[in-house]
Structure 1
């Protein structure tokens, strides 16, 4: 394969993540950082009807692609986009992130796959079909408050805290006995911390939409009350932790969301300020690789942790989510993250094609 010293960045048109220039706020900083390193970079938009033209143009003129697309926002569904990326990888391009990485590290059921590792609560489960969800979730809820997470959501959309409205009833319910479908529940969505009072059966019918379709699923996880103390996110570029952000939810009522949209307060630190957590995650990396299908590390990815109480009363960190499909870092551009991304991307291409960067394009 010829070396072009060129990297394409894929986006899709429109969406709330776009700025006035039509791009994500962190896209052009990445492109400009790659150019500053002496390589070519440009942005191309994916449309299903352009698939063949995109494949021919990109496969003939680029060495790698960087995907800056939330799979849930792809026009026509994610399958066509994933198929294009897979074909480009088969043609010799270096993919960042590949569909395989997005489906292993980035899918919400990664948590269920880690349920026997100590990184997440052992009763974490994933539902891939409507029948198993309706059969199992009422029993799961009998053990206490739960959080349901859809696979496609971003910024808290389709992530629901579920609790019984009647606290006395909640105290009387015997764990392991399914909660009746007519039971009134309070459902709080992480996107904006709004709450709704619904019947369990009707709410589960509503949640069926998250399971149906390509890569649909729901993850069922125990609610951790100490989420009110905040989530702690590690952002990594390749294998390197770059910074840690402490995301503290807005105070009040049933608030638990740590998104900026919901009013959470963010504090940014260098990794050394959270060394215990950084060390824990470094130790967990081989476990993640073994459980999630390999150690092909995404280009830009995050791991979110919450606090829980260990059996001896000490603090314990619980993994709440891994993201790699389209991690944004708009608030950290002044920290030079884009230069680290460009350097890592170029080094991956150089390693894959066995050249040092000194060769002519």
Structure 2
């Protein structure tokens, strides 16, 4: 049986949209550069607009593809992935290459990865609360060292992330804590510690966990987003952020309260070479080992968000991982486009050949 490619692989690019079919103006979409690069490589590319209301149609279209790249946040105003992920699992079982399999997202793209990988060089004093009783027993003790950041396991865009610090110990009475949500335009509020803890009861009842990290004093220096394709760093983005920082005197609507633009830089940007080396040589292999992820299971496009940690004795920066994004990485630096397209095309070709070989084997006499 020949395993050579007889037709070009078909690759779908799926993202959430209000349109029930392919987005009409794909050239204006953030995914367009990758789409164009895939076509240059020889792929047949199809833009697929996803909405829960047309999930069945999406399923049928995905099953005609050899590979699919997916952009869909786990939590958004448009919905979650509860209907999309089963479709992606079905497509993967049928031999379609998925840019980030839902099972891999469940390992990498959640806040519990911060606890699982805390012993790597990107880790910090990270704790995991499995239930309300553990949170009630340990949070006040950990707040004694300074502000902490509590993170719901499945959160994104600032949703489900809070800075918490003691505002008044109460002289033996109930401590009062100051709380600031990381979502845009949030303002700090004060609340009894027990009342704050009680707010998490429904969350734990859903079987989720809560992650606790120390607040990083250098947050004002910005966040570094390290873009990765499989196990290779493909670019960086540096952004001055306002989430979890005190509000300026001018208020939440003032220009000073708004995040700065994300400045994209290529993978060889001099300022981040030590971070790139750590990622490629140590931290990504360590992540794979801890989470039992093979190289070809790594997402085609993902990012790791870092905050600056303390400088070492030589004045060099350290980096603290604050989250990994897998579900919907956009925008991305221009330097990432070709490498991501190459990896997507390679996986789609391999999937195409396996499917062709499987059909040939099935049709062959015993």
The alignment's TM-score, normalised by the length of structure 1, stands at 0.79
> What's 2:358 paired with?
none
Residue 27 of structure 1 pairs with residue 19 of structure 2 = no
Question: How far, CA to CA, are the matches of 2:82 and 2:329 in structure 1?
Answer: 20
Residue 91 of structure 1 pairs with residue 89 of structure 2 = no
C-alpha displacement of 1:327: 0.8
Post-superposition Cα deviations, 1:234-277, rounded to whole Å, max 9, x if no partner, equal 11223332222222235996269xxx994235333333311111
Residue 233 of structure 1 pairs with residue 229 of structure 2 = no
Residue 139 of structure 1 pairs with residue 132 of structure 2 = no
Residue pairs, 1:103-122, within 5 angstroms: 103-121=106-124
> What's 2:210 paired with?
218
Aligned partner of residue 165 in structure 1, secondary structure: strand
In structure 2, do the counterparts of structure 1 residues 145 and 244 end up closer, same or farther at CA, with 3 Å as the change threshold? same
In structure 2, do the counterparts of structure 1 residues 10 and 145 end up closer, same or farther at CA, with 3 Å as the change threshold? same
Residue 318 of structure 1 pairs with residue 320 of structure 2 = yes
Residue 190 of structure 1 contacts residue 262 of structure 1 at CA under 8 Å; is this kept in 2?
Answer: no
Question: How far, CA to CA, are the matches of 1:58 and 1:252 in structure 2?
Answer: 40
> What's 2:251 paired with?
none
Aligned-pair RMSD on alpha carbons?
A: 3.5
Q: Choose from 270, 274, 277 the match for 2:275.
A: 277
Question: How far, CA to CA, are the matches of 1:118 and 1:234 in structure 2?
Answer: 15
> What's 2:182 paired with?
190
C-alpha displacement of 1:186: 1.4
Post-superposition Cα deviations, 1:63-97, rounded to whole Å, max 9, x if no partner, equal 01111101223967433322111111111000111
> What's 2:164 paired with?
162
Residue 162 of structure 2 contacts residue 244 of structure 2 at CA under 8 Å; is this kept in 1?
Answer: no
Question: How far, CA to CA, are the matches of 1:211 and 1:343 in structure 2?
Answer: 41
> What's 2:199 paired with?
206
Post-superposition Cα deviations, 1:15-51, rounded to whole Å, max 9, x if no partner, equal 9xxx995999313443343234332222334445544
Tell me which structure has the larger Cα radius of gyration.
2
C-alpha displacement of 1:200: 1.6
> What's 1:176 paired with?
none
> What's 1:307 paired with?
308
In structure 2, do the counterparts of structure 1 residues 165 and 299 end up closer, same or farther at CA, with 3 Å as the change threshold? same
Aligned partner of residue 325 in structure 1, secondary structure: coil
Residue 228 of structure 2 contacts residue 235 of structure 2 at CA under 8 Å; is this kept in 1?
Answer: yes
In structure 2, do the counterparts of structure 1 residues 100 and 93 end up closer, same or farther at CA, with 3 Å as the change threshold? same
In structure 2, do the counterparts of structure 1 residues 143 and 3 end up closer, same or farther at CA, with 3 Å as the change threshold? farther
Residue 249 of structure 1 pairs with residue 253 of structure 2 = no
Residue 6 of structure 1 contacts residue 63 of structure 1 at CA under 8 Å; is this kept in 2?
Answer: yes
In structure 2, do the counterparts of structure 1 residues 251 and 135 end up closer, same or farther at CA, with 3 Å as the change threshold? closer
Question: How far, CA to CA, are the matches of 1:243 and 1:254 in structure 2?
Answer: 30
> What's 2:65 paired with?
62
Question: How far, CA to CA, are the matches of 1:269 and 1:47 in structure 2?
Answer: 33
Residue 18 of structure 2 contacts residue 50 of structure 2 at CA under 8 Å; is this kept in 1?
Answer: no
> What's 1:268 paired with?
264
Deviates more, 1:30-39 or 1:229-238: 30-39
Post-superposition Cα deviations, 1:277-335, rounded to whole Å, max 9, x if no partner, equal 111112222111011221322111111222222674753222221111111116x4xx3
Aligned partner of residue 85 in structure 1, secondary structure: helix
Question: How far, CA to CA, are the matches of 2:318 and 2:183 in structure 1?
Answer: 26
Aligned partner of residue 289 in structure 1, secondary structure: helix
The alignment's TM-score, normalised by the length of structure 2, stands at 0.78
Deviates more, 1:96-105 or 1:43-52: 43-52
What stretches of structure 1 of length at least 5 have no aligned partner?
173-178, 356-361
